Amino acid sequence: MSEKKTNRENRRRRRRRNQLISYCVMAVVLIAVGMGCFFGIHAAGSAVKQHQAAREESRQELLEASRVEESAQAQAAVAALFETESTEETESTYTKEDALNDMVEDTLAGMTLEQKVAGLFFVTPEQLTGVSQVVAAGDATRESLEKYSVGGLIYFAKNIQSEDQLKEMLSNTASYSLFPLFFGVDEEGGKVARVADTLKLDKTVPMGEIGAAGDTQAAYDAYQNIGNYLSSYGFNVDFAPVADVLTNVDNTVIGNRAFSSDTGVAAQMVSSAVTGLQETGVSACLKHFPGHGDTAGDSHTGAAQTDRTKEEMEAEEFLPFQSGIEAGTDMIMVGHITAPNLTDGDSLPASISEKIITGVLRNELGYQGIIITDAMNMGAITEYYKSDVAAIMALKAGADMVLMPENFEEAYQGVLDAVADGTVSEERIDDSLRRIYRVKLRSRVL
């Protein structure tokens, strides 16, 4: 039943209750009037029959007491009806959103500070366990998750051997975790398809080809197909689609991973891709805000900068991200891109810039979902910042999750110490966890 129909039904039920209440009140009044007349007649008769005065007076007192009791019972019945209506109306206003919020708050209330901090990290299984190559989840995984309740695990081709092995590994890992986990992978289609390439699945064509054809249904279908096979193995996060606009033709890092060099086409494709993917239960993660399409450098190995003005980025780079936000994307990845025209000239990468994450993405674009950094083991970060410093800067800038710090244990301990000394407040940690767990727990309620 639609919300409008539900509201109409609730109003109809309330009208019926109100009518019943009115009838009860009217009955009480009529009874009182009738009994008053009855007492009046008998009172007149008693004046003639003086010898029965004492007995009649006693009788009237008894009848009056009875009338008062009946009236009180009627009023109690009316009050009960009002109370029932009030209770039912209160129950009807408790929504699924309320239930989700309660589940999130209950989860946070049951977490230690150590668990909260660990929940902000999205790492590889190797970073979690210390094993050189993880292809199964056993004692090492279980013990590591008991020590570090990380928020998510990202897998690469080296972790995948077969369909059965992949399913078992993810299933076992999930069973070892005290809290729900994100299981993520880069599966864009084209040349970035960790799962399809390794398992020899029918691979989706590059998004640049889909964008060139101008068919938004094809973008929807492509990502629904990706989501279907990812979810069948146990993944619930896809670090895709690419929302960059390829405005620099010399940009080989992005290339045909982007839908188009036309911002309008890219925006339409991104919206369809997000919808197709998330309908399968796999969260989309737009990347790489504020836009990697104009850069010539590669943030994997060093600094990458865009010299686009803010006005140019608002007119082009931001539009596909805004389109994805309107489509309901669960996550947005912030890249290690330096954008001096967005930051009043400073050279901080976007992934650790409060002016970009909070100032632009949160406040100007109005995004309220999960913000995650690009991989923090990339050269654009590791050449200039230690793992703990970079993680703290990202969280203070407004990021919710830190992806693949170069040294996970150092980053984790650094954030834990920062909360202990007041550099980062526990309330700030809780804000991020609320966004994270709204996505993780949503399927249980909605």
* 3-state SS assignment for residue 20: helix
> pLDDT higher for 119 or 42?
119
User: Euclidean distance between the first and final Cα of the chain, in Å?
Assistant: 15
Q: Do residues 32 and 135 share a domain?
A: no
- CA–CA dist 132, 124 (Å, integer): 11
Question: Band of the pLDDT at 211, cuts 50, 70, 90?
Answer: very high
Q: Is 288 a catalytic residue?
A: no
Nearest alpha-carbon partner for 222 in 251, 190, 195, 264? 190
Count other Cβ atoms within 10 Å, centred on residue 236. 24
The pLDDT value recorded for residue 61 is 58
Q: Is 139 a catalytic residue?
A: no
- Which amino acid is present at 146? E
- CA–CA dist 136, 271 (Å, integer): 35
Which of 197, 300, 417, 430 is the catalytic position? 300
- CA–CA dist 273, 367 (Å, integer): 18
Predicted confidence (pLDDT) per residue in 12-62, tens digit? 455 455 555 555 545 544 555 455 544 444 444 444 445 455 555 655 655
pTM across the whole model: 0.80
Q: Please calculate the CA angle 167-170-173 and round it to the nearest 5 degrees.
A: 145
Which of 186, 244, 294, 374 is the catalytic position? 374
Q: Do residues 249 and 176 share a domain?
A: yes
Q: Which two tokens stand for residue 284?
A: 């989309």
The pLDDT value recorded for residue 11 is 47
- CA–CA dist 127, 145 (Å, integer): 11
- Sign of the CA dihedral with 48 first, then 51, 55, and 61 last: positive
Q: Do residues 303 and 408 share a domain?
A: yes
Which H or E element spans position 289? strand 283-289
Number of compact structural domains in the chain:
2
The pLDDT value recorded for residue 79 is 54
- Sign of the CA dihedral with 381 first, then 382, 384, and 389 last: positive
CATH number for the domain spanning 272: value is 3.20.20.300
Predicted confidence (pLDDT) per residue in 273-317, tens digit? 999 999 999 999 999 999 999 887 666 667 789 999 999 999 999
Predicted confidence (pLDDT) per residue in 77-111, tens digit? 545 554 555 555 455 699 999 999 999 999 999 99
User: Which structural domain range is residue 113 located in?
Assistant: 96-445
Q: Look up tokens 């980025």; give the residue.
A: 313
Q: Do residues 403 and 260 share a domain?
A: yes
Q: Do residues 239 and 377 share a domain?
A: yes
The pLDDT value recorded for residue 98 is 95
